[in-house]
């Protein structure tokens, strides 16, 4: 017999037993996920320089903006990489999963490769909960032991 099999109010899902009222979905179901702009010669030498965030700017739950850099963004890039209030920025490398919620601390502002922008697809998504969930998941000794500091999980 599996745990919770005969426990009223629970249902079996692909991730295990959960309360009947809970939904199970993926980040891709709940967020528009966008990897940041690649830094290249055109970006550094272009004439439309704008501030952007890199891995080093993201802290757990906040941003370090004193060392913000700039690069050139085309109009198409501006639309694609523009940061909006309540976007969740997640680090891909370094301290994997480190994330913070953008609150328009600097406008306009964009983001570079090695950061993923998670933008909620509907108003029911609790972005602060998601950030705290990621913090717990990626600082847990069980997860931390599975990935290296230089790997992309």
| Tens-digit pLDDT profile for residues 86-132 | 999 999 987 889 999 999 999 999 999 999 999 999 999 999 999 99
- Say how far apart CA 90 and CA 116 lie, in whole Å: 5
Tokens of 98: 């480190």
Looking at residue 138, what is its pLDDT?
85
- Its pTM stands at 0.83
Q: How far apart are alpha carbons 121 and 104 in whole angstroms?
A: 19
At 47, the pLDDT band (50, 70, 90 cuts) reads: confident
- Each residue's pLDDT tens digit, 54-85: 999 999 999 999 999 999 999 999 999 999 99
Contact 56, 64 (CB under 8 A): yes
Using a pLDDT cut of 90, give the percent of the chain over it: 67
């Amino acid at each position: 017999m599996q745990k919770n099999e005969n426990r009223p109010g629970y249902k079996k899902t692909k991730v295990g037993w959960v309360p009947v009222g809970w939904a199970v979905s993926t980040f891709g179901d709940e967020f528009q996920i966008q990897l940041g702009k690649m830094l290249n010669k055109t970006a550094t030498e272009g004439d439309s320089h704008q501030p952007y965030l890199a891995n080093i700017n993201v802290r757990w739950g906040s941003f370090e903006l004193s060392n913000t850099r700039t690069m050139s963004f085309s109009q198409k890039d501006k639309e694609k990489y523009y940061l909006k209030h309540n976007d969740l920025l997640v680090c891909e490398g370094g301290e994997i999963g480190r994330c913070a919620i953008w609150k328009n601390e600097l406008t306009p502002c964009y983001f570079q490769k090695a950061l993923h922008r998670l933008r909620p697809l509907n108003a029911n998504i609790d972005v602060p909960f998601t950030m705290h969930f990621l913090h717990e998941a990626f600082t847990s000794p069980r997860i931390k032991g599975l990935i290296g500091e230089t790997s992309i999980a």
